[in-house]
Each structure stands twice: as C-alpha cells, then as structure tokens.
Amino acid sequence: MDNLRHLLPSAGNLVVFEVAGRKLSFTKAALELGMTQAAVSYAIRSLESQLGTALFHRAHRAVSLTEAGRRFHSDVTLGLSHIRKSAEDIRGRGKANTVTLAGSTAFASLWMLPRLHRLRDELPDIDLRIQTADRDLDIRNENIELGVRAGRPEDWPDYDSALIAPEVIVAVASAAYLEKHGTPESVAHLTQHKLIHLEEPFRRACDWQQWFKSAGLDAVVANRGLAINDYVLVIQAVMEGQGVALGWQHLTERLVRSGLLKKVTSHRLTTGAAYHVIWPKGRTLSSQTELVLNWLAKEGRDSADEEAGS
C-alpha cells in the first residue's frame, strides 16, 4: 500500500485536472475551484511530470487535451464520480433534499456524468444519488425516487414515465481505426471490419444481426470479433481503436460531436422504443424529485434538438 501511495497522483491534482479538462480552460477551472490560474497550471504540470507525458496542448489563451489526456480524463472523471457517489451516499442518507436516480452504468457514465455540472448549476440545493446495477432495480420496493428504463410505456403498466431519448442506433468507430482500416463504403462492406459485440447479460439490447437486418441485409452473418458484457467497456474499446461497435445515439452523440467517435455509415436503426425516466404510479413526488424529473426531460429534449441541428 505504501508503494501505491507513491505511484498514485495527488488526489488534489486529479480534481484540478478533471475540472480543467472539462472546462478546457485553466482560467475557468481556477474560478470554479477558487484557486489562482497559476496554481491550476502548477497542479497540471506536477501531474504531467509524475505521469511522464503531456496531458494538454497549450496554445495562446487556449488549451486542449492530448490523446493521452483524453483517455486519462475519461478514467479520472469516472473514478472521481464513484468516490463522490460513495461519499454522498454516506453523507446524504435521510436528507430531505436527496433524490436517488437508478439506471445502468452506461447511462450513468455516458449520459448523466457529462451533464452533472449543469445539474449542480441549475439545481444547487439538490443532492443527487446515482445508483447503478447490472439489472433494473425495483424502484418501488427499494424506495428509489426515479429510474431510467429502455422500452415503451406499456412495458411498465405500474409506472408513470417521461421521455428522455428515442432508441436510435448507429455504427461508430474511432478516427484512428478508420485511418488504419478505411471507412466502409457501404453497410455490406462493414461486415468485413472488426466488430465489437455487446453481450448484455440482463437487459435486452439490439445486436449486429438485427442492425444489419434493419439495413436490408437479412442473410449477413456478423463476424464475432470482440465480445464484451459492459457497454462502457465497449465504448472504451472503440476509442482505443479495437473495432466498430453499435452506438446508442443518446449515449454516444457527445463523443461523436467531440471527434472521439465517428459514425461509419449513414444507416441508423430507429427501434420505436425509447429511454424514459419512470416512477411508481400513485406515488406523490417531492418537490425536489419533480425538479430532477423535469430537468432530465429537458436535457433529453435539448439533446434531441442538438442532434437534429447537427
């Protein structure tokens, strides 16, 4: 453990790095953290020195993450979020202003976490607890205020629901993968590429066979390639250039807009299902829960508008 203490970067420097990477500005990070810009710059340089690599490209009045910086920022954000959640769980149990949201790890990591800073800015008096599990939790019996589900409202006759995003599925890869292997000329040509498969153990999920069929390729047999049972790891493998994966649009649109992922064909499968936030029928929601519910629905509408305009 003593060796681990010397190997791990300073927790304070990691916090500074997370904010600087999210803001892409040392000055804005300093304002959020209540530090000087010089202190932020020193913390980042100390972290780079310890890791032995540059995390930011520095230009006149602008910074951007290097490739190593983007990968490290993704991991640091996820790690800090787990620590924060655990601390908030311990500190926040029983508080009147705490709202629990249950969902998949993929939804929490790829949809919710990038938006948490906006929730804190817009709803500063609410403590949100994000609870993830391999399978959908029984939010009624576990006394959880809100849950996120994929499907149709008739799938949950005992619950009310609000739309977050329709289920739209595209094929995505990293720029590095496409540079090395070429962009598929068609959906049929995509069958010759390295495909990454999600083997969802508990929730229903579209697979490559269904996606190809929706494009009119009924007889295509998708090569097995790499199979992973966690969607967050699927996306990580794609960003590492391991192959092409199915991208649920509401989870991957931010990564596509940032350039970390690219859509490899124009085909998209709209399943008719959607992602909803649900709560038990007949349950009176607290004012804090209603605020979170309305915020989630608004974020979903805003994301849909951004996607339509892109």
Please give the chain's pLDDT, 310 residues, in tens: 445 455 567 788 999 999 999 989 999 999 988 989 999 999 999 999 988 899 999 887 788 999 999 999 998 988 888 787 667 656 555 456 889 999 999 999 999 999 999 999 999 999 999 988 777 888 888 888 999 999 999 999 999 999 999 999 999 999 999 999 999 989 999 988 999 999 887 778 899 999 999 999 876 666 667 899 899 999 999 999 999 999 999 999 999 999 999 999 999 999 999 999 999 998 889 999 999 999 999 998 888 767 665 5
Give CATH for domain 2-66. 1.10.10.10
Asked if 148 contacts 226 with a C-beta cutoff of 8 angstroms, the reply is no
DSSP SS3 for 228: strand
Q: Which CATH class is domain 74-163+273-309?
A: alpha beta
The domain ranges of the chain are 2-66, 74-163+273-309, 166-271
Non-local (6+) Cβ contacts of 96 within 8 A are 286, 288
Q: Which residue has the tokens 């609410």?
A: 126
- Calpha distance 145→289 (Å, rounded): 7
pTM higher than 0.75, yes or no?
Answer: no
Asked if 213 contacts 271 with a C-beta cutoff of 8 angstroms, the reply is no
DSSP SS3 for 46: helix
- Calpha distance 21→41 (Å, rounded): 12
Residue 116, Cβ density class (10 Å: 0-12 exposed, 13-18 middle, ≥19 buried): middle
Tokens in use for 21?
Answer: 């990477």
- Calpha distance 59→38 (Å, rounded): 16
| Amino acid code (one letter) for 230 | D
- 166-271 has CATH 3.40.190.10 classification: yes
